[in-house]
Structure 1
């Protein structure tokens, strides 16, 4: 999901924020390359299981010693770093858990966020490792592990927040131009608040460029994502707001993110859950996620079952 490379003076320097920005762009370009490689290996797809038997995918992955992870190129959840290697909170968790499950190797498969569920169910990869939010609509298409984190939103706005945007209602009342990622839950939250002018962009870096250049007034994403892109690029033209709590039917929502599996593969999901809960109880999960911008406030005991309820 390479973002547009706008006419930005920081993109030509050799130090400071320009270097960081080029690193992010390089990572995005690498993501596309990995996706292309993943597509060429689709002939080695693992067949899904018959519904009702819990699935045999875990046994197949152990025999192959490799699991393919669906990534979406969103920092800090899953992306290709400037060194061309897969990184992010979700792939790092996956490496740890699958090693415990007897699967030594993890292989990235890059795609757009909105294509993750389709790619999973068409056997392009084995697991969605992209910090995907759990909601009832998605629960009809895949099964989720229990979430590894909880998250509120934040806004990316021009320096000084000239339109005074702190809630989705503020965006609606001001008539501000809003952008977010394709397939993001934030689209529904904006619609709930009455926001009329919503466009989608490939990722948070594209959102930053659009805000800096005045093409949109606000880019909306998860709080960690928005804070990280401001810190990584050292932008002087934009800033992150405080955390924003979305509302659905007038009630506050705290989103949670988790790994997703094909519906028949409950054996794999349950085994993954067991290892995940061990990491939670020991505190190791937080230590794994902390380098990617997560803290104690993002740790959660909410279950997938709770979030899948209509």
Structure 2
């Protein structure tokens, strides 16, 4: 989240007066209204990014979706896809802005960065706030559980039936999946590392995340393991965990140009080549569209 700054210089009253005068001049000159946050408009961000040669991407430091490597560079499934696409759009410099997952959409809307590049699941609630690209992957869920899976957990229904504490991450889609399944005791944590620790310490029976997140976080740990991936169900229907890139609703031109390049990567098979090093496979590739997922 952006930090607040204490203003110095002219007093508040003089600033307000100056602002009112400027607003009156703009109105008299007939300036076009700036689109409201909820409006979908074309926008000129793509042109400005090409001119500057730099784009800022919001990431949540969540391997393997998006994180900062040892050299301070953005990497992971989503940033690597973003690098290729923005280079083809004429924007060579991709700069990461790491925030907590729950701050990604607020940070995008506050213009802290230009696009969310964090493998964010596409769902109707988020679609009301941002414009999504089509998804670049489709993913089942899995649990981090103690070694040997002593409770025999396979899905959210098992957690509910055994009345256990389930941990998951801030703003994760798994919160809604668990609640839809009737899980009553949820422990919301910052990320999957905190989730692993909660399970290892016995504060939660399991941590819910995407199967690739769970698999990556348990590697090398003798205290916990990953369950087999499973398909979440909400109201009797499969809840598809398909992730994409998010843009401000006033920047449809950029979203559409990005989407066109993403489709080319899918058609050529390059997308799979880019994301394979991060644990993704042909099984995670999808032809679903943002329009389908936003309904």
CA distance in 2, matches of 1:272, 1:166: 37
Unaligned 5+ segments in structure 2 are 5-32
Please tell me whether residue 117 in structure 1 is matched to residue 105 in structure 2. Answer: yes
1:277 aligns with 2:277: no
- What's the counterpart of residue 291 of structure 2? 305
- Once the two structures are superposed, the pairs formed by residues 122-141 of structure 1 within 5 Å of their partners are 122-141=110-129
Partners of 2:196 and 2:281 in 1: CA distance = 24
> Does residue 97 of structure 1 match 2:91?
no
Aligned to 1:218: 206
Shift of 1:294: 0.2
Aligned-residue offset at 1:177: 1.1
Cα contact 1:147–1:257 (8 A) shared by 2: yes
Measured after TM superposition, the shift of residue 217 of structure 1 is 0.9
Choose from 211, 218, 231 the match for 1:230. Answer: 218
In 2, distance between residues paired with 1:240 and 1:190? Answer: 17
Q: Which residue of 1 aligns with 2:226?
A: 240
Residues 40 and 252, structure 2, Cα contact 8 Å, conserved in 1: no
* Equivalent in the alignment of 2:45: 57
Structure 1 residue 39: Cα displacement:
6.6
Question: Is the contact between residue 41 and residue 249 of structure 2 (CA under 8 Å) also seen in structure 1?
Answer: no
Q: After the TM superposition, which parts of structure 1 deviate over 3 Å for at least 4 consecutive aligned residues? A: 48-53
- Partners in 1 of 2:55 and 2:172 — Cα distance? 25
> Which structure is larger by alpha-carbon Rg, 1 or 2?
2
Q: Deviations over 1:179-201 (max 9, x none)?
A: 00000010011111111110111
Distance in 1 between the 2:272 and 2:79 partners? 14
CA distance in 1, matches of 2:34, 2:244: 22
RMSD between aligned residues: 1.6
- Offset of 1:272 from its aligned partner? 0.2
Equivalences for residues 1-310 of structure 1 within 5 A: 50=35, 53-231=41-219, 234-309=220-295
CA contact (8 A) 1:39 1:124 kept: no
Q: What is the CA-CA distance between 1:83 and the residue it aligns to?
A: 3.4
Measure the CA separation in 2 of the matches of 1:207 and 1:181: 7
User: Structure 2-normalised TM-score?
Assistant: 0.86
Kindly tell me: are residues 127 and 105 of structure 1, through their superposed partners in 2, closer, same or farther at Cα, counting changes over 3 Å? same
In structure 1, list runs of 5 or more residues that go unmatched. 1-34, 41-47
Q: Secondary structure at the match of 2:95?
A: strand
Give the equivalent residue in structure 2 for 1:25.
none
Whether the aligned pair in 2 keeps the contact of 1:158 and 1:211 (CA below 8 Å) is yes
